[in-house]
Amino acid sequence: MRADKQTCILAFPFVLAFLTLLMTGCTSIFGLLRVDPMPNNGVESANETIPKIKGRKSQDIFEQARKEKRDSIQVSDFGQPYNYSYPSTLADSIIEYAKQFLGAPYAYAGKGPSKFDCSGFTAFVFRHFGYELRATSKGQLDDGWKVITKPDELRCGDLVFYGGGSKTREIGHVGIVVSNDPLSHRFTFIHASVRLGVTISVSTESYYYSRYITACRVLPE
C-alpha cells in the first residue's frame, strides 16, 4: 500500500506536466484554426451597408458613392440585386434620377412625386438639380438656351417636344433625351405618357415619329 502511494506521488509531477503540455497544444491548434476577420480596408460588410442604404434616400447614396469614388454599389437584400454606377456628368445624373420614377402613373396637371403629366415630370426632375422650368410643355421650349434643329445632334438631358396630335404642329408633349444614336437616326426619351405613365420610348415609334416637332438644350455645354 505504501509502495502504491509512493508511486502515485512520484508520478504526479509527470501527469501534471503532461496535462499542461496537452492544454498548451490544444490552445495552439485552436489558434491556428481560428479565422481572424478580414481587415476592413474601407469596405463595409453587407450587414453594415444594407441598413444604411435602407435608411437613406437614393440621392444621398449616390452622393456618398461619388465622394468615396466607388464605381458601384451592390446590395442583394432587396429581393433582386441592386446595382448603381454613379453618373459622370450632370446629364447622366438627371437621367438616373428620372428613371427612379419609371412606372409612376399619368395624371393631368400632376406635378409629382407620385403622379405626373408630361411637363410636370420634366419640371420635377430638373427642379431636383436646381433648374426651374415653366409649367407647360410649350413654355419649356423657351427654357432652353439653344434650339436643336437636327435630331442627330441631340444629347442626353435635352428636351424633345411633340405635337398633341398627328395633324397639328402645336407643342403638346415633352420628354427628356436618354440616349441618341446618330448612326441609326434614333434616340430614346423618358416622359410621362397618358397610357403608360413614366416610360422610355424610342423616337422611331410611329406614334412619336409623326408628331416630333423640335428640341432644346437646358443644360450647359
pLDDT in tens, the chain (221 residues): 455 545 545 555 555 555 665 565 555 444 444 444 444 443 344 444 444 544 555 555 555 655 565 544 444 434 444 444 445 699 999 999 999 999 999 999 999 999 999 999 999 999 999 999 999 999 999 999 999 999 999 999 999 999 987 677 899 999 999 999 999 999 999 999 999 999 999 999 999 999 999 999 999 98
Examine the domain organization and report whether 167 and 213 are in the same domain: yes
Whether residue 112 is found in the same domain as residue 173:
yes
Tell whether 35 is covered by a domain. no
Q: Please report where in the chains the cell 416610360 appears, as a residue.
A: 199
| 92 belongs to a structural domain | no
What residue numbers bound the domain in which 194 lies?
Answer: 102-217
Q: Give the burial string for 47-69 (b: 16+ CB within 10 Å, else e).
A: eebbeebeeeeeeebbeebeeee
169 in a domain, yes or no? yes
Same domain, 117 and 76: no
pTM to 2 decimal places:
0.62
4 found inside a domain: no
